Amino acid sequence: MTLEESMLDMGHRARTASTRLATLSPKQRTEGLEAMASALEAAESLILDANKRDMAAAREKGLTPAMLDRLALDSGRVKSIAKAVREVAALPDPVGAEIARWTVPSGLDIARVRTPLGVIGIIYEARPNVTADAAALCLRSGNAAILRAGSESLQSALAIATALRSGLKGAGLPQDAIQLVNTTDRDAVGYMLTGLQGQIDVIVPRGGKGLVSRVQQDARVPVIGHLEGLCHAYVDADADPEKTVNIVLNAKMRRTGVCGALETLLVNRTVAMTLLPAIAAPLRDAGCELRGDDAARAILPDMTPATEEDWRTEYLAPILSVRIVDDLDAALDHIAYYGTGHTELIITENASTAERFLNQVDAGIVIHNASTQFADGGEFGMGAEIGIATGRIHARGPVGAEQLTIFKYVVRGHGETRP
Amino acid sequence: MTLEESMLDMGHRARTASTRLATLSPKQRTEGLEAMASALEAAESLILDANKRDMAAAREKGLTPAMLDRLALDSGRVKSIAKAVREVAALPDPVGAEIARWTVPSGLDIARVRTPLGVIGIIYEARPNVTADAAALCLRSGNAAILRAGSESLQSALAIATALRSGLKGAGLPQDAIQLVNTTDRDAVGYMLTGLQGQIDVIVPRGGKGLVSRVQQDARVPVIGHLEGLCHAYVDADADPEKTVNIVLNAKMRRTGVCGALETLLVNRTVAMTLLPAIAAPLRDAGCELRGDDAARAILPDMTPATEEDWRTEYLAPILSVRIVDDLDAALDHIAYYGTGHTELIITENASTAERFLNQVDAGIVIHNASTQFADGGEFGMGAEIGIATGRIHARGPVGAEQLTIFKYVVRGHGETRP
């Protein structure tokens, strides 16, 4: 088979599996997930062997220590991958749930019922755990998954996918509900982006900006994508100083590499003189570089000057850009212009200022008086997530099992004809 | 300005208007809609003059009588366009509605709140009323609209759009919430499909299969599309004869040109001998041609033989293809293979057979014992609709004002930081 033929074959197998998955009971999907977790635990040594091969190749290629760390598995990490699958098994099953039901004057009984999306193509990068996380969320929501791992983690991903498939088989579920592209050929991604002749319903890219923007550019099927998290905090004139210092430090420094990390701080001019030094001290103690506009540098002259580029940059690193703004409107303008629609924060004790911010900012998540690092499906009580969507259709914010579904209308009649 | 520059300018104006629209109150949007309706009534003679120019050009081009009828306006039609806008004004405003609200263990109060999609590009064909219908639904849902009318109706559409914009202006709302592409240059559609550098959030095509498939093929932004309505009815072994005859006749013949019209009838073999003649007689009396497979023609030998092509054709005409099937599973297989995900019907008195059909058929609308012609936003109690979505993400079935929204998460904290 050519690559194209084998990709199309994969698409057809996925569609067949998805048709069966959609008609299983929630209990059967739960049993499948539990069997997948057990199979992962049973395959630990195979998975670790495969990971050793990936690691050896990665060292040869000269990957950075940070990249090697993301790729590396050990017994504890395999166990936590299995544990995450068990957590998804414990989530409520969204498929078949009635979202709404009503009767219309013609006599028809109309229900809006959740259904799976169908076949989801997931394209991701190095972390081996994504293979299991994504497959589990897809199964929970009744979807078949076609997974495309990064080339660095292909051996690990294959070993994990093999275990997941054997778990499905053991539970009497269709193995082709989870398929992994078994090649590093980049053309495979291109075929996925065409939708495999209608066999892929939606593509979820999970990775860096380069990957996601390529997918959004080239895909011929809908994309649920997470592009960038250039998150802002606006410190209002009525901000509580202690909350401000704590929240900003946590939002920036708890983990700097996550999409919900704070990247730009906007400080109201009337409180900047007192608050900015108080905010800056613990940030600097924690190793954060501050880059400020002229007004901020008038207060803290040892800041690096911020350039236009800084307002546009998702650092994912211990760097914070700081701008002094005249008022809420100036902060809203800055966020409307530079924001990426991910997570935006206001710190204030003034309820009406807060409500204006929450209402007017156009982002997946808007927060009043709490850290931007809460931008996470688990923290939202949604269980696992496949990412935080920054697009504007289908889903925004954390994408969990429920967000991987759509609905249909079930109409029950009694012989009605339309006049 | 070049066409590209003027299209980009339109996109930026739409974005600016959409930002303002989103922060208006529901009452302000309602007043805008009412002012639009009044402005349409006041502009009746201008609209009719413009329509005369379209009609003269259309006659010269040799459009069919059916196309001329769709294009033609008179005083009554203008009044009913205005009335439809008033009906949208009376619909509940979806923007800002809390869909859900809960508290998580960290203490955060999380609400999921409806927001507009932003800027919607609508590409449609001849009917002049779509200009007002689409603009009204967009405004009701807080979205700015960029409208691209068919070239045959451009003068009528311009006159209608001018009236709508003057209504907006009179009500103190941004006129650029409604913009119409003022050229017949086909390249304008191409620019819209690129998303105008991020200024269009979603494209809604409304027209024939050729238009919709071109849009789905070329769009670089999400599409909420209605591709085809190849609707099936399965007459089960336990179907009530009288209901069957009434429902099939209505589903096929009430209006044959609508997307919810029945195109293929699947009849269970055990009842075909008695039921098929009873179904066929009133259909033929009403002028419907029947095309059958061999088994159907063994019962009614004067049917035209159905070919593979028939199972794939949305006739939109008084033609019905008829196939005899062994059982529910055979009907489900036929629908899974040939269905377009629009509306599918089962006629049976057996509740468990009905539930299996409703559960297993993958379509926007699945119906038990009522005509497929109920596939309509108005009949569903949703007010006006912009179409029936046959895709699998964002919305399926009738797309009304609520389906032209997305949501954001509003998080209210008390100083929480994430451990």
What pLDDT digit, counting tens, does each position of B257-296 carry?
999 999 999 999 999 999 999 999 999 999 999 999 999 9
DSSP-derived pairing of the beta strands A119-124 and A144-148:
parallel
Which residue numbers in chain A have pLDDT < 50? none
Tokens of residue A68, six digits: 């090697």
3-state class (DSSP) for residue B400? coil
A141 and A254: one domain? no
- What dihedral angle (degrees, nearest 10) is formed by the CA atoms of B247, B248, B250, B252? 160
B261 and B186: one domain? no
What is the pLDDT averaged over residues B78-86? Answer: 96
Residue B180 falls inside a structural domain: yes
Please judge whether B409 and A371 are an interchain contact, meaning their C-beta atoms are less than 8 angstroms apart: no
Residue of A nearest to B404 (CA): A393
Please judge whether B409 and A380 are an interchain contact, meaning their C-beta atoms are less than 8 angstroms apart: yes
Tokens of residue A193, six digits: 């982006």
Q: Which of B201, B369, B397 sits opposite A408 (nearest CB)?
A: B397
Q: What angle do CA A265, A331, B195 make, to 5 degrees?
A: 105
The answer to whether residues A343 and A229 touch, using CB atoms and an 8 Å cutoff, is: yes
The answer to whether residues A411 and B368 touch, using CB atoms and an 8 Å cutoff, is: yes
DSSP-derived pairing of the beta strands A262-268 and A231-235:
parallel
Residue B384 falls inside a structural domain: no
Structural domain count of chain B: 2
Angle between helices A75-89 and A26-42 (to 10 degrees): 170
* Alpha-carbon gap, residue B16 to B196, rounded angstroms: 14
The alpha-helical segments, DSSP class H, found in B150-268 are 154-170, 187-193, 209-218, 241-253
Sheet with strand A365-370: strands edge to edge:
A304-305, A289-292, A319-325, A262-268, A231-235, A343-347, A365-370, B405-416, B109-116, B98-103
Please give the residue that has the higher pLDDT: either A294 or B186.
Answer: A294
Residue A216 to chain B, least CA–CA distance (Å): 8
Cα dist from B18 to A346, A363, B140, B145, whole Å? 22, 14, 12, 9
- pLDDT at site A1: 87
Residue A282 falls inside a structural domain: yes
- Cβ-Cβ contacts under 8 Å for B135 (sequence gap 6 or more): B36, B145, B147, B161, B164, B178
User: Residue A109 corresponds to which amino acid?
Assistant: D
A69 burial level (CB within 10 Å; 0-12, 13-18, 19+):
exposed
- pLDDT at site B212: 86
The answer to whether residue B126 scores a pLDDT higher than 80 is: no
B242 and B263: one domain? yes
Residue of B nearest to A357 (CA): B410
B257 and B319: one domain? yes
The answer to whether residues A382 and A367 touch, using CB atoms and an 8 Å cutoff, is: no
- pLDDT at site A418: 97
- pLDDT at site A228: 87
Number of CB pairs, chain A paired with chain B, less than 8 A apart: 216
A257 and A211: one domain? no
Rounded to a whole number of angstroms, the distance between the first and last alpha carbons of chain B is 55
Whose tokens are 């800056």? That residue is A280
Across B387-398, b (16+ Cβ under 10 Å) vs e yields bbbbbbbbbbbb
* Alpha-carbon gap, residue A29 to A92, rounded angstroms: 11
Q: For B208-227, write each residue's pLDDT tens digit.
A: 888 888 898 889 889 998 87
Q: Which of A108, A247, A411 sits opposite B415 (nearest CB)?
A: A247
User: Residue B113 corresponds to which amino acid?
Assistant: V
Sheet with strand B304-305: strands edge to edge:
A98-103, A109-116, A405-416, B365-370, B343-347, B231-235, B262-268, B319-325, B289-292, B304-305
3-state class (DSSP) for residue B217? helix
The answer to whether residues A263 and A321 touch, using CB atoms and an 8 Å cutoff, is: yes
Backbone dihedral region of B259: left (phi > 0), alpha (psi from -120 to 50 degrees) or beta?
A: alpha
Q: Which domain holds residue A280?
A: 231-379
Residue B391 falls inside a structural domain: no
* pTM for the structure as a whole: 0.92
- pLDDT at site A91: 93
A173 and A300: one domain? no
Q: What is the DSSP letter of A311?
A: H
Q: For B101-124, write each residue's pLDDT tens digit.
A: 999 999 999 999 999 999 999 999
Tokens of residue A408, six digits: 């249909």
Give which of B103, B193, B252, B374 to mutate to test A binding, by max A Cβ within 10 Å: B374
Q: What angle do CA A189, A191, A196 make, to 5 degrees?
A: 130
A51 and A80: one domain? yes
Please give the residue that has the higher pLDDT: either B1 or A255.
Answer: A255
Q: What angle do CA A278, A282, A285 make, to 5 degrees?
A: 135
Residue B307 falls inside a structural domain: yes
Residue A313 falls inside a structural domain: yes
* Alpha-carbon gap, residue B138 to B400, rounded angstroms: 9
Residue A386 falls inside a structural domain: no
- pLDDT at site B334: 97
Residue B248 falls inside a structural domain: yes
Please judge whether A369 and B416 are an interchain contact, meaning their C-beta atoms are less than 8 angstroms apart: yes
User: Residue A57 corresponds to which amino acid?
Assistant: A
B65 and B198: one domain? yes
Q: What angle do CA B61, B63, B69 make, to 5 degrees?
A: 135
B253 and B309: one domain? yes
Residue B26 to chain A, least CA–CA distance (Å): 13
3-state class (DSSP) for residue B347? strand
B220 and B242: one domain? no
* Alpha-carbon gap, residue B347 to B354, rounded angstroms: 8
- pLDDT at site A314: 95
A252 contacts on B by Cβ (under 8 Å): none
* Alpha-carbon gap, residue B66 to A414, rounded angstroms: 35
Confidence of residue B89 (pLDDT cuts 50, 70, 90): very high
A298 and A264: one domain? yes
Find the CATH number of the domain harbouring B369: 3.40.309.10
- Cβ-Cβ contacts under 8 Å for A273 (sequence gap 6 or more): A299
B380 contacts on A by Cβ (under 8 Å): 104, 110, 409
What is the pLDDT averaged over residues B320-348? Answer: 97
CA A78 to chain centre: 21
Q: For B364-410, write each residue's pLDDT tens digit.
A: 999 999 999 999 999 998 888 888 999 889 999 999 999 999 999 99
B182 and B129: one domain? yes
B247 contacts on A by Cβ (under 8 Å): 415-417
Q: Minimal CA–CA distance to B397: which of B351, B335, B344, B343? A: B343
- pLDDT at site B376: 93
Tokens of residue A375, six digits: 């931008």
In chain B, the percentage of residues whose pLDDT exceeds 90 is 87
